[in-house]
Structure 1
Amino acid sequence: MGDHTLDGVEPVTDRIHHNSWSANLEKPIHGDRRDAVVAGALEAVEHTAPGYHVNLVTHGAHGRPEEYLGPALREAFGGGVEWSYVEQCGCGGHVLRVRVFEREPVTHD
């Protein structure tokens, strides 16, 4: 797994989640920078233990997330994940649920 953090963008999480959880990708920087949403989504998935899912709550400025996150998730994780669109939030954002299957664990040097 790679380092998907971006300069000037706060990390989405700092630990591996051994439960299902939600990642907030609706901050103002996420509205301004779609690359921050993609990087945060990849980071969130990397930090979700196999057998669980992460709800990616994305900024509404970029439309439905599966259109731009789907290719990024496929490239980064191949068949190790599957995703489904959940809903549009009342605030305009969107929720994409990503289920994580068995894969190599994330290690930090």
Structure 2
Amino acid sequence: MASIKVKFRPSTVADHEGTIYYQIIHERKVRQLLSDYKVFTSEWDESRSMVTTTQKSERKSFILSIRERIRWDVERLTKIDRKLDANGLTYTVDDVIDEFLRYSNEYSLFNF
């Protein structure tokens, strides 16, 4: 089974958004899967590894939608890992990422 963690890489430029990415570890191989989600450092809760917002934030709906998409992505990565593990064949962390990207491209709104 792979380990999937949500991480945040702050921007090196002050007052710019950083990038959220997924760290996937399987059989001691570590890979990073970049997401399209960008938030400010103040919107990231390091202890919970999740985006956070306040009631008065003007970006509240945007942050909540990112939170939901992160949850969806982690759930999909977990399902892919379980499916590959259940097949009984050996697989790599790259196989998990490739399947995730294939699924994302195949079932995008544009293709729909």
TM over 0.5: no
Larger Rg belongs to? 2
Structure 1-normalised TM-score? 0.29
Higher helix share: 2
Structure 2-normalised TM-score? 0.28
